[in-house]
Amino acid sequence: MVMNISMSCSTRAMSPSVRLQEMIRVIRGARTQGEERGVIQRECAAIRAQFRQADNGTRSHNLAKLLYVHMLGYPAHFGQMECVRLIASPRYNEKRVGYLGAMMLLDEKQDASLLITNSIKNDLSHNSQYVQSLALCTLACMGSAEMCRDLAPEIDRLLRASNSYIKKKAALCAVHIVRKVPDLGELFTPAARSLLCEKNHGVLHGAVVLITELCERNPDTLEQFRKVVPELVQIMKGLVMSGYSPEHNVAGISDPFLQVRILRLLRILGRNNDTASDAMNDLLAQVATNTDSSKTAGSAVLYETVLTVMDIKSESGLRVLAVNILGRFLLNNDRNIRYISMTSLQKIVQTDHNAVQRHRGTIVDCLKDQDASVKRRALELSLALVSAVNIRSLMKELLLFLSSCPPELRAHTTSGIFNAAERYAPSQRWHIDTILHVLTTAGGDVRDETVPNLIQLITTATELHCYTVHKLYRALITDISVQSLVQVACWCIGEYGDLLLRGECEETEPVQVTEDDVLDALETVLQSHMSSPATRGFALTATMKLSTRITHNVDRIRSIVSIYGSCIDVELQQRAVEYNALFKKYDHMRAAVLERMPVIDKSSPGHTNGESAGGIKELEQTKLTQEVVLPKDPGNQVCDLLDLLGGSGEPVPSSGLSHTVPGPATSTSGGDLLDLLGGLDVSPAPPSVKVYEKNGVTLKLQTDSQTDTGMTITLTATNSTDGDITSLTLQAAVPKSVQLQMKAPSGDVIPARGLGLVTQTVLLNNPNKVSLKMRVRVCYSSQGAVCQDTVQIDSFPSPAW
């Protein structure tokens, strides 16, 4: 066994320690957990017995044994009172173990902890500094707010008038007190200030920590301490320029611990303050340039310097220097330093975006690092660096990363890729390709909204329908295990199956697909045990939709649909039954019901990298405040109409994007025909009345439905001029007892030459059955001029049905 200093000096000290070590040896010798427990139970019983006896000189060693047992994980609460007793002992070795026990077994929540307050108080004034030190250490470790309040004046006294050994401990004790009772900060401020004049590094360090704590908690104190910036600068300079000091040197740096704390304090003092920042500018430049970073100590100091430079109001030259240091760190062989560099770059990527962009190549390389922590940091940073300029090349890297990234990072990667693609997609085709690539690689780790989002994207990319359906068909026949991909593929095939069968496609190599091939693919999905219920629903609906898009195999579809009419899955069964009805009783409506879907509108804000979020958010606000009640997302026309016809309709999803679960047949219970048709703009058009016509802008009104106590109308605006009409808003006013609810308009731009229109639905509730009148104010911009008109509507046309 190694020679222990205290052991070597006195035989009396030797024997009890051996007893402790003997016990440890026995416990370690136990071959099973059970044996160990037995030994410990016996020992604890003996210790308990000893505690109850009168003082026989072995108490401290018994407590030490108990502390060992405690560290193994066994209960030791019966030792708490023994700690209290030992702390009160006049013997140093007993006090020492007693205080150690207090720190291990007592915390501020135990009642026994209060009992040692008096002992601590006495020991703080002991004439031996080592006894004082025990008290200070214990107070700083487990002192409750109550104890701290009690003993604060003592600590303050020690801060002023004692030797360095005690002063440094008193300083950190004061830090603990301020953390527990922030109000007491004021008490320590003067003493903290004067401690900065000390030469002893331990005391200086404690002083800097204390001042940091005081400044962080109290803005007035912070203001006060700004005056000591020159002094701190001097101390730092001294450290940086000093020669070799064996006591404090670490790998060529003189006391890196103190340097780092001073730099951190300077950061707090220089933040948001030009004068203080100016005063430290030169020093920071000096430290940044002269510190040798070949070892960790130097890198630690440089790291802290960089953090400080970036947080205060530093000159641009200094900022550039700091970012370059981080860039250098990125190339360091030491993984820790690469990791640190990336966490720091992450902090400044918003504010100093261009500077960080310069290091993009290295950051992207770190995606290939073996270490999981480094990979994670590199991923975060890469996503933050995506911009319109680098989207293509960066996305290649991200997709490559996705194919080999650790499983815990996949979900985050996919959502990051989707966000980036959404904001910066250079073309729709690229966007669709990217999403499909992600689904093929990691389709199991994408969020639920991905499917509707992708569908919405596909509908808007009208010229790419042919390309998309070909691509998705190919993906489907390759692999049907990825649910998200299969769902989108089914939807697409159902919707654009005719384009697939036509066989010609501009953007991609066409495939000779027969109607049977397509139906085979869908049936495979329907029957596969890998398909989730939702996926099968997609497949069934797609199959049904094809009945109007193919010519030869309608019977096959008929038979598929009728088979599923007795499916165990309730959802599938319901759909199948409804489709059956479409085949039989309502065959004349089938074509109209299964018509092509209209383009689904999207309304989601964008947020580009490198710009502050504030500006974009404001724009979004003004766009959405239409001075009307906005219960649903705009553009969700299809669902609105469902509501209007009184059908219960499916719940509108609350995500930022509007969409419907595709297919009008996904409806409510009962298969009520009105509900089926509720979601469509189906001819014949109900009679509409022109209520406004001026400057080429025409506003028509049609009544969708009418009851005794209310009605629903739709206003339609068209534009026959050569230029688009923009910023269209409609406002309505009605008699007092009538309640008005305007749904969100379909848009605010009316394309020129009648190429499009804007509709807005208005709900009127007329419980008192007064005569309904309405005044509508129309506002819009046409050819640069703002126009505003008001029309009065005294009579309403009769409803469509």
Partner 1 sequence: MMRFLLLFSRQGKLRLQKWFITVTEREKKKMIRDMTLMVLARPPRSCNFLHWRDLKIVYKRYASLYFCCGLEEHDNELLTLEILHRYVELLDKYFGNVCELDIIFNFEKAYFILDEFLMGGEILETSKTAVGTAMEEAATLQETMEEYMSKPTF
Full DSSP string of 390-433: THHHHHHHHHHHHHH--HHHHHHHHHHHHHHHHHH-SSHHHHHH
Shortest Å, Cβ 57 to partner 1: 9
Nearer to partner 1, 296 or 562 (CB): 296
Task: Enumerate residues 421-450 that contact partner 1 by CB under 8 A.
Answer: none
Determine the Cα–Cα distance for residues 192 and 174; give it in Å rounded to an integer.
9
Q: Does 167 bind partner 1 (CB under 8 A)?
A: no
693 by DSSP, 3-state: which?
strand
Binding residue for partner 1 (CB under 8 A) from 31, 33, 34, 90? Answer: 90
Interface mask toward partner 1 for 350-389; x: CB under 8 A: --------------------xxxxx---------------
Shortest Å, Cβ 295 to partner 1: 9
Q: Is the C-alpha dihedral spanning 367, 371, 372, 374 positive or negative?
A: negative
Task: Enumerate residues 101-120 that contact partner 1 by CB under 8 A.
Answer: 107-109
Stretch that binds partner 1, among 256-264, 318-326, 555-563, 651-659 (CB under 8 A): 256-264
Whether the upstream peptide bond of residue 684 has omega within 30° of 0, thus cis, is: yes
Q: Can you state the percent helix, strand and coil of the chain, rounding each to 5? A: 60, 10, 30
Count of residues of this chain found to bind partner 1 when the rule CB under 8 A is applied? 82
Determine the Cα–Cα distance for residues 244 and 756; give it in Å rounded to an integer.
81
Nearer to partner 1, 144 or 637 (CB): 144
From 311, 259, 252, select the one nearest 283 (Cα to Cα).
259
**Quick one: tokens of 532?**
């989730």
DSSP 576: H
Task: Enumerate residues 302-321 that contact partner 1 by CB under 8 A.
Answer: 303-304
Determine the Cα–Cα distance for residues 711 and 1; give it in Å rounded to an integer.
95
Task: Enumerate residues 584-603 that contact partner 1 by CB under 8 A.
Answer: none
Shortest Å, Cβ 307 to partner 1: 8
Binding residue for partner 1 (CB under 8 A) from 102, 191, 325, 339? Answer: 339
Nearer to partner 1, 263 or 600 (CB): 263
Binding residue for partner 1 (CB under 8 A) from 39, 88, 645, 691? Answer: 88
Q: Does 570 bind partner 1 (CB under 8 A)?
A: no
Shortest Å, Cβ 148 to partner 1: 12
Binding residue for partner 1 (CB under 8 A) from 111, 247, 506, 555? Answer: 247
Q: Does 340 bind partner 1 (CB under 8 A)?
A: yes
Stretch that binds partner 1, among 273-281, 336-344, 654-662, 688-696 (CB under 8 A): 336-344
253 by DSSP, 3-state: which?
strand
Shortest Å, Cβ 445 to partner 1: 20
**Quick one: tokens of 551?**
């010519």
Cα–Cα separations (whole angstroms), residue 528 to 35, 480, 523, 569, 571: 56, 9, 8, 14, 17
Task: Enumerate residues 206-245 that contact partner 1 by CB under 8 A.
Answer: 206, 209
Q: Does 89 bind partner 1 (CB under 8 A)?
A: yes
Close Cβ partners of 611 (under 8 Å, ≥ 6 residues apart): none
Shortest Å, Cβ 161 to partner 1: 20
Determine the Cα–Cα distance for residues 464 and 487; give it in Å rounded to an integer.
18
CA angle 239, 243, 244 (to 5 degrees): 100
* Number of C-beta neighbours around residue 29 at 10 A: 10
Shortest Å, Cβ 517 to partner 1: 48
Assess contact for 208 and 225: CB atoms under 8 A: no
Which amino acid belongs to residue 545?
K
Binding residue for partner 1 (CB under 8 A) from 5, 161, 570, 785? Answer: 5
Nearer to partner 1, 77 or 690 (CB): 77
Binding residue for partner 1 (CB under 8 A) from 68, 491, 564, 692? Answer: 68
